[in-house]
Amino acid sequence: MTVQLIGVAKTYDGNQVLTGCSYTFGAGVDYVIMGDNGSGKSTLFRIAALLEAADLGEVRYLEGGVVLPPDILLKRRLTMVFPQVGVFSCSVFDNVAYGLKIRGLKKDQVQERVAGALEEVGLTHKSAQPAVTLSSGETVRLGLARALAIDPEVLFLDEPTTHIDKANTRLIEDCIRRLKEERALTLIIITHDPAQAGRLGGRQLLLEGGKIKEM
């Protein structure tokens, strides 16, 4: 699936965050977007992930040259992990199972995919634990597992290692690298850390002056 931004503009409280922002994210390609705090990276993500409407411009998802309607079927093919994960007050397992249960998957399929996702992020041993008791690093890994379980075609990761320790950062980066090798998904990551951008590889982009630029 190709993600196309066409002249996207967004203003918050009179402050122009995005101005005529256009870019095409190719299917199966991975990107790292950098930019200063307040440059509109998260806003860009929310609009690109169809969670928020742009004031001007358009977000298109294309498959085989055909524009897909922005309905629930399309929205279920992509997902986004925020720096604040938004943990449901149930077990780690049930958190990861959420996206699968709402899609009406059968119990054994749910179990299999949750187990796989938890293994990928190294949280198998915490499966039965109440998710709200996880550390901040583990919580981000849970957010990643929740996203991986639904097997998205486009994955947006917004500052996946902000405010977490080095050990968890390494685990998350390893997981992202494995993802890129093993899955054919379009991966778009936001980071403000150039060193991390270097470690993760992928096509490097810069969000500046409300527009995306190639680096």
Partner 1 sequence: METIIQGFVSAFQLITHLNPELLRIILLSLEVSGLALVAATVLGLPLGALLALKPFPFRGLLLSLLNTGMGLPPVVVGLFLYLILSRSGPLGFMALLYSPTAMIIGQAILAFPIVTSLAHAAIVGVDPVIRLAAQTLGATPWQEATTVVREARYGVGAAVIAGFGRVSAEVGLVLMVGGNIAHYTRVMTTTIALETDKGNFDLGIALGLILLTLSLMVNLALRAVQRRGRAQSGVRLWD
Q: How many CA atoms does the CB half-sphere of 101 hold within 13 Å?
A: 9
- Tell me the backbone φ, ψ of residue 107, rounded to 5 degrees: -55, -45
Q: Is 59 in the site for partner 1 (CB under 8 A)?
A: no
Q: Is 70 in the site for partner 1 (CB under 8 A)?
A: no
Q: Pairing mode, if any, of strands 154-158 and 78-81?
A: parallel
Q: Is 133 in the site for partner 1 (CB under 8 A)?
A: yes
* DSSP letter assigned to residue 189: E
Q: Is 15 in the site for partner 1 (CB under 8 A)?
A: no
Residue 41: closest CA among 213, 174, 180, 215: 213
Residue 82: closest CA among 135, 160, 176: 160
Q: Is 82 in the site for partner 1 (CB under 8 A)?
A: yes
Q: Which is nearer to partner 1, 139 or 210 (CB)?
A: 139
Dist. CA 91–CA 111, nearest whole Å: 13
Q: Kindly state the smallest distance separating residue 133's Cβ from partner 1, in Å.
A: 5
Q: Which is nearer to partner 1, 85 or 121 (CB)?
A: 85
Dist. CA 48–CA 207, nearest whole Å: 14
Q: Is 53 in the site for partner 1 (CB under 8 A)?
A: no
Q: Kindly state the smallest distance separating residue 128's Cβ from partner 1, in Å.
A: 14
Exposed (0-12), middle (13-18) or buried (19+): which is 214, by Cβ within 10 Å? exposed
Q: Is 12 in the site for partner 1 (CB under 8 A)?
A: no
Please enumerate in sequence order all residues whose Cβ is within 8 A of that of 98, keeping only pairs 6 or more positions apart, or say none: 88, 146
Print the binding letters for residues 85-124 with partner 1: x by CB under 8 A, - otherwise.
xxxxx--------xx--xx---------------------
Q: Kindly state the smallest distance separating residue 46's Cβ from partner 1, in Å.
A: 9
Q: Which residues bind partner 1 (CB under 8 A)?
A: 49, 51, 72, 75-76, 79-82, 84-89, 98-99, 102-103, 130, 132-133, 143, 146-147, 150
